[in-house]
Amino acid sequence: MTLATLTFSAEITSLMASFGVDEKALKGGTLAVRSPINGETIANVAEISTDETRKAIDAAHKAFLEWRLVPAPQRGELIRLLGEELRAAKIELGRLVSIEVGKITSEGLGEVQEMIDICDFAVGLSRQLYGLTIATERAEHRMMETWHPLGVTGIISAFNFPVAVWSWNAALALVCGNPTVWKPSEKTPLTAIATQAIFEKALKRYIAQGGKAPANLSTLLIGGRDIGEILVDHPKVPLISATGSTAMGRTVGPRVAARFGRSILELGGNNAAIVGPSADLDLTLRGVAFAAMGTAGQRCTTLRRLFVHESVYDTLVPRLIKAYGSVTIGNPLEAGNLIGPLIDKGAFDRMQHALDAARSAGGKVHGGDRVHGEAASSAYYARPALVEMPEQVGPVIDETFAPILYVIKYSDFDQALALNNDVPQGLSSSIFTNDIREAEAFVSDRGSDCGIANVNIGPSGAEIGGAFGGEKETGGGRESGSDAWKAYMRRQTNTVNYGRTLPLAQGVKFDI
Ligand code: NAD
């Protein structure tokens, strides 16, 4: 089927039915949902009111008072079942991600696989919420550190990972003893509704096998920024995990801090890679192509800046330009296409604006034009753009959420390292090199200032296990792996006196 004749309405109804979502939930609502693949309106879903939102948060807080008492390994059992349900629904949910966001099939499926992986991680974690025992100076005393559930976890997510980001947060929050309240992107409510239905299936099985769980353990708020703001300001939500643009974080961060709440901010990136003189150029070409063009440049970790050593510039860059010219762009559901659409017209316009600014700053633009505009006039497909820039100025400093790769020639490693770090964002970074000094320096104290720094792989993507997040205007939050779980819990230091005297610390005397 061509883009012009493609229609999704019937498929959406049957996909949603496979998750247990009634057709009625897709019709008559105030929020129109469109597929970026062909611009078709595929559903009109209901939005929650501000009053209902406040009530839902209060109800989630009540759920917290019970859920925190369920032993963590039992909470882990619910997440184990969620992982099973996600495995069973992987193909359908992956397809829905592709239709709602425009990801190619393997990336839609990959997003669901990431949800499954975090469930596996969280199940193991549910038996490893370890504290410490600490040496004390007082005789017959014991000092220890314990971790307790924190309270309702508010999750705000972006359109480009519409469901994985929920799972990164929810799987950890729930094993840590916290109910979740989720405000997904207003551009991707269908995948959120499907995910909530999959969660309900897991919950039903958990309760049927004797598991204890309160009502309102997982709440979904479909709505816009105003609904997100209620979550952000609510005193019964001690933790807000917000993923999206730096502009959003600039508002959300101070509002949460003003009420002494905690936040995990996962914001924009402006990720770079350095290609050293010794780099394996075949590997580099593939690494750069996927990181810069994959997901149509709509990943927070997308490669946006490339610093190429002058000795390999004339070999690598023409090969890259050729790859940019020949990459397959089109319906992401069709095998063979590697680049799908941009999310909407706004994204396409911002891409063109950045390219114009790059031209004005002396950049030489290859690609970047609209394709398939005639076949699908309400969809926005763009040829990825490679821009040779004389220096790091103008739009190179900003994150434009589209497939634009700025390429800059360098002569000295320290100069390239300084350029890597000389932007406001600090999410992900890479170096392609076979020089061990360069590689080690890049990941050293004086190296990349990003939350993620890779060697001989691109900066794009993440794997469950490592902590994910970045520095500076990326927000400083860490999610998913390593000890990210600690952000979802309350740390307590306990000193227990099992003797019959009362020695005071630091030798203080207070005899009455
Ligand atoms: P966005 O900032 O427009 O929206 C993100 C979410 O925030 C949406 O749910 C939106 O409704 C909500 N929101 C916006 N303003 C708010 C406010 N004042 N209060 C409460 N909620 C508010 O982002 P987007 O266009 O959906 O996503 C793209 C951006 O997200 C890019 O900048 C990308 O780099 C970033 N992103 C970051 C990560 C990461 O882990 N660092 C991951 C994915 C996306």
Q: What is the pLDDT of residues 162-187, one digit of tens each?
A: 999 999 999 999 999 999 999 999 99
Task: Indicate whether residue 438 lines ligand 1 (CB < 6 A).
Answer: no
The DSSP line for 245-280 is -HHHHHHHHHHHHHTT-EEEEE----EEEEE-TT--
The string of pLDDT tens digits covering residues 279-311 is 999 999 999 999 999 999 999 999 999 999 999
Cα–Cα dist 483/198, whole Å? 27
Residue 312's pLDDT is: 98
The DSSP line for 57-80 is HHHHHHHHHHHTTS-HHHHHHHHH
Instruction: Please identify, by atom number, the ligand 1 atom nearest to the C-alpha of residue 159.
Output: 26
* Residues in Cβ contact with 375 at an 8 Å cutoff, skipping those fewer than 6 apart: 2, 3, 4
Cα–Cα dist 233/303, whole Å? 34
pLDDT exceeds cutoff 80 at 206: yes
Task: Indicate whether residue 268 lines ligand 1 (CB < 6 A).
Answer: yes
pLDDT exceeds cutoff 90 at 1: no
| C-alpha of residue 157 to centroid of ligand 1, in Å | 6
Task: Indicate whether residue 68 lines ligand 1 (CB < 6 A).
Answer: no
| C-alpha of residue 243 to centroid of ligand 1, in Å | 5
Task: Indicate whether residue 269 lines ligand 1 (CB < 6 A).
Answer: yes
Task: Indicate whether residue 476 lines ligand 1 (CB < 6 A).
Answer: no
What token pair was written down for 391? 């220096």
Asked whether 104 and 293 are in contact (CB, 8 A), the reply is: no
Q: How would residue 2 be classed by pLDDT, with cut points 50, 70 and 90?
A: confident
Taking CA atoms only, the protein residue closest to ligand 1 atom 8 is 185
The string of pLDDT tens digits covering residues 87-132 is 999 999 999 999 999 999 999 999 999 999 999 999 999 999 999 9
Probe target for ligand 1 pocket from 243, 304, 425, with the most ligand atoms within 8 Å of CB:
243
Asked whether 190 and 15 are in contact (CB, 8 A), the reply is: no
Taking CA atoms only, the protein residue closest to ligand 1 atom 13 is 225
Give ipTM to 2 decimals.
0.99
The string of pLDDT tens digits covering residues 317-337 is 999 999 999 999 999 999 999
Could you list the active site residues? 266, 300
The string of pLDDT tens digits covering residues 62-83 is 999 999 999 999 999 999 999 9
Q: List the 141-149 sheet strands across, edge first.
A: 133-134, 141-149, 489-497
The string of pLDDT tens digits covering residues 426-449 is 999 999 999 999 999 999 999 999
Mean pLDDT value across residues 480-505:
97
Cα–Cα dist 439/9, whole Å? 50
Question: Residue 386 is inside which H or E element, if any?
Answer: strand 385-388
| C-alpha of residue 376 to centroid of ligand 1, in Å | 27
Taking CA atoms only, the protein residue closest to ligand 1 atom 20 is 228
Residue 72's pLDDT is: 98
What token pair was written down for 280? 């394996």
Task: Indicate whether residue 196 lines ligand 1 (CB < 6 A).
Answer: no
Cα–Cα dist 222/157, whole Å? 11
Task: Indicate whether residue 182 lines ligand 1 (CB < 6 A).
Answer: no
Task: Indicate whether residue 234 lines ligand 1 (CB < 6 A).
Answer: no
SS3 371: strand
Asked whether 318 and 281 are in contact (CB, 8 A), the reply is: no
Taking CA atoms only, the protein residue closest to ligand 1 atom 32 is 245
Instruction: Please identify, by atom number, the ligand 1 atom nearest to the C-alpha of residue 470.
Output: 41
What angle, 0 to 180 degrees and rounded to 10, lies between the N-to-C axes of helices 189-208 and 72-88? 120
| C-alpha of residue 362 to centroid of ligand 1, in Å | 31
Mean pLDDT value across residues 487-510:
96
The string of pLDDT tens digits covering residues 22-37 is 999 999 999 999 999 9
Cα–Cα dist 254/75, whole Å? 32
Q: In 10 A of CB 258, how many CB atoms?
A: 10
- Nearest in space to 179 (alpha carbons), one of 204, 156, 150, 200: 150
Cα–Cα dist 63/92, whole Å? 30
Task: Indicate whether residue 263 lines ligand 1 (CB < 6 A).
Answer: no
| C-alpha of residue 389 to centroid of ligand 1, in Å | 28
Q: To the nearest whole number, what is the mean pLDDT of the chain?
A: 97
CA distances from 472 to 212, 233, 441 (A): 41, 23, 20
